[in-house]
């Protein structure tokens, strides 16, 4: 599926995201090196660091709702917005076609 990721410098990247690799959005950002090494995915995708926080900009793409651990982590996160999600908690599926998101600032 095609996903557009706006990096922390405001540059937009349209990337091809595989749906058959059990990958999440945080891993996708790392795979395409859209954030410097060590600034995203620090907890390894356990919903415990918020380094993978992103803002969901597309309104027409359905993302599965947050689980409790994601909500709890975001509650404590810096730079949280209404449309914040943790990239590591969003698995890449066919439903994400056309998703546009922006990486939250590094903290
Ligand atoms: Fe740590 Fe997502 S990688 S919360």
Cα–ligand 1 centroid distance for 74 (angstroms):
10
Give every residue of the chain whose pLDDT is below 70, as ranges.
Answer: none
What pTM was computed for the model?
0.96
pLDDT at res. 45: 98
**Model ipTM?**
0.99
Q: Which domains does the chain have, with CATH numbers?
A: 2-103 (3.10.20.30)
User: Is 74's C-beta closer than 6 angstroms to any atom of ligand 1?
Assistant: no
Residue with tokens 């990239």: 87
Q: Assess contact for 87 and 54: CB atoms under 8 A.
A: yes
Cβ–Cβ < 8 Å for 14, 3: yes
* Nearest residue by C-alpha to atom 4 in ligand 1: 47
Beta carbon of 51 within 6 Å of any ligand 1 atom? yes
Q: What is the rounded distance in angstroms from the CA atom of residue 39 to the CA atom of residue 35?
A: 7
């Amino acid at each position: 599926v095609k996903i557009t990721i706006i990096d922390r410098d405001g540059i937009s990247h349209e990337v091809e995201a595989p749906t058959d690799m059990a990958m999440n959005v945080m891993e996708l950002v790392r795979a395409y090196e859209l954030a410097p090494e060590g600034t995203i995915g620090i907890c390894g995708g356990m919903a415990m660091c918020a380094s993978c926080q992103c803002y969901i900009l597309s309104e027409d793409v359905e993302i599965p709702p947050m689980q409790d651990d994601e909500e709890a982590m975001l509650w404590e996160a810096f730079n949280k917005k209404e449309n914040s999600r943790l990239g590591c908690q969003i698995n890449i599926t066919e439903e994400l076609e056309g998703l546009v998101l922006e990486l939250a600032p590094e903290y």
